[in-house]
Structure 1
Amino acid sequence: MSDDHDPVFEPPVNKLPFVVVVLFLIMAGIELALTAGEAGLVGGPEAIGWRLGLVRDWGFSGDLFDAMVAQGYFPPEHLARFITYPFIHLSFTNALISIVLMLALGKMAAEVMGQFVMLALFVLSGIGGALVYALVLNDPTWLVGAYPSVYGLIGGYSYVMWRKLSTTGGRQLEAFSLIGMLMGIQLVWSLFTSVGNGWVAELAGFVCGFGLSALLAPGEWSRILARLRQR
């Protein structure tokens, strides 16, 4: 028997890492349920308010965080909002863009840095983005959507490119071309419509993702320790 692979039986897309699949199923499952409810396919008349209910119950509020800090009381159900808000989106389009970016960037991060690191970038960048959003701004608008977490994955991608260019002698500033392009698009878009202050959380998510990659990427922590011992 031949060991050659028959191209007819090759999978149409490369296999996605398990953690990326899990995130996809959660994000897509929530959005499909909300969209179906708004279309009247499930849930009855009450389903129209599902999205707003999720924002209220699981979205992140800077005002709520300020109140927790002022009282010195941090209920677990409200701290959970740091983790749950990226899975709630204001529209099907926002969810679709977030999911597509998460699949592409998450696959890269998981394959290059490992699934644990990819998940850490996604979760911790979302937390960092929300924290900066609450501390820097006094905006009553609720923060929802996976953009801060996805921008953390962009930070991981930028770090991988930055390290690669440093070893090949390329221009390291090119590693930031993707984030520069996205921020530029947002700037142009803001000239035609109100984009809100979500970009603050997104930029903070990018910085968190880049910084975390410098610590969590395979071999990076050992390299840092080696440099410290040389001093």
Structure 2
Amino acid sequence: MSSAPHDHPVNPLPPVIVALFLVIVGLEAMFSLGARGILGGPEAVGWRQAAIQDYGFNAEVFAWMRQQGLWPMEHLKRFGTYIFIHGSFTHALIGGVMLLALGKFVAEVFAQWATLVLFVASAVVGALVFGFVGPERPWLMGTFPGVYGLIGGFTYLMWLKLGQMGAKQYRAFTLIGLLMALQLVFGLLFGANSTWVADVAGFASGFVLSFFLAPGGWAKIRAKIRHR
């Protein structure tokens, strides 16, 4: 028996996740090749640091904006651009793999636009919370707060599924609990920093936003309000 011409042995990745991943990989390739002198000449060695300075999120800059009451676009953009800048190849690799894995699962249920909103909004909230509590290590970079937002979406879907099955819904939080435990272990071994606050904030915002962004989510919420 032959399979249908449109059947795939592996489900294709959602376009929005592929696009995000390609941006991350493309920038990391440019930084890595530049640091090795393969691309861009001698000045390319400093591309990564220059990108961090220009596009990374900085808690001290955020504090300055609050104190001065000034919100220049050159600094506001950092809330969205920091997710594409990583401190190393390994940092980008781990973040990219997690983006593909969690993004594929979430985007197969959520609409493409909803997945993008979930990812970006969680990253923005993560940076915002980090800006208030993380000034001792002011720089925040990398895709993890956005990825943790996708984990929030994943947790929401598992929470719904377990509820429909009549199972204990707290089991939906097993993944985030495991990840936080790993962060604690790594923090004890190698020294903790406050970037985990952005990850937790990203997860929480992703979970809450999923109530509105999931298919039929807003309609269900309005129905419950009307019923009450």
What is the TM-score when the length of structure 2 is the normalising length?
0.95
Identity among equivalent positions (%) equals 50
2-structure distance, mates of 1:40, 1:217: 46
Matching residue's letter, 2:48: R
Matching residue's letter, 1:15: P
For the Cα contact (< 8 Å) 1:129–1:148, is it kept in 2?
yes
> How much has 1:156 moved relative to structure 2?
0.4
Return the match for 1:210 from 204, 207, 212: 207
Return the match for 1:74 from 71, 74, 78: 71
Q: Is 1:182 aligned to residue 174 of structure 2?
A: no
- The answer for the alignment partner of 1:163 in structure 2 is 160
1-structure distance, mates of 2:211, 2:9: 34
> How much has 1:185 moved relative to structure 2?
0.6
What secondary structure does 2:190 align onto? coil
- The answer for the alignment partner of 2:197 in structure 1 is 200
Identify the range of structure 1 (201-210 vs 138-147) with the bigger mean alpha-carbon deviation. 138-147
Q: Is 1:138 aligned to residue 160 of structure 2?
A: no
- The answer for the alignment partner of 1:226 in structure 2 is 223
> How much has 1:11 moved relative to structure 2?
4.8
> How much has 1:136 moved relative to structure 2?
2.5
For the Cα contact (< 8 Å) 2:137–2:193, is it kept in 1?
no
1-structure distance, mates of 2:140, 2:24: 16
The list of structure 1 runs, each at least 4 consecutive aligned residues, that deviate by more than 2 angstroms after superposition, is 2-6, 9-14, 136-141
Matching residue's letter, 2:68: Q
Q: Which runs of 5+ in 2 are unaligned?
A: none
- The answer for the alignment partner of 1:54 in structure 2 is 51
Q: What value does the CA root-mean-square deviation take over the aligned residues? A: 1.6
- The answer for the alignment partner of 1:105 in structure 2 is 102
> How much has 1:167 moved relative to structure 2?
1.2
Matching residue's letter, 2:102: L
For the Cα contact (< 8 Å) 1:63–1:140, is it kept in 2?
no
Counterparts of residues 18-37 of structure 1 (less than 5 Å): 18-37=15-34
* CA displacement, residues 63-82 of structure 1 (integer Å, 9 cap, x when unaligned): 10111111111011211100
For the Cα contact (< 8 Å) 1:110–1:116, is it kept in 2?
no
* CA displacement, residues 9-29 of structure 1 (integer Å, 9 cap, x when unaligned): 965642111111110110100
* CA displacement, residues 150-182 of structure 1 (integer Å, 9 cap, x when unaligned): 000000000000011111111111100110000
Matching residue's letter, 1:87: F
2-structure distance, mates of 1:25, 1:121: 18
Q: Which runs of 5+ in 1 are unaligned?
A: none
For the Cα contact (< 8 Å) 1:102–1:150, is it kept in 2?
yes
Tell me how many residue pairs correspond in the alignment. 228
Return the match for 1:129 from 120, 123, 126: 126
* CA displacement, residues 125-171 of structure 1 (integer Å, 9 cap, x when unaligned): 00000000012333342100011000000000000000111111111
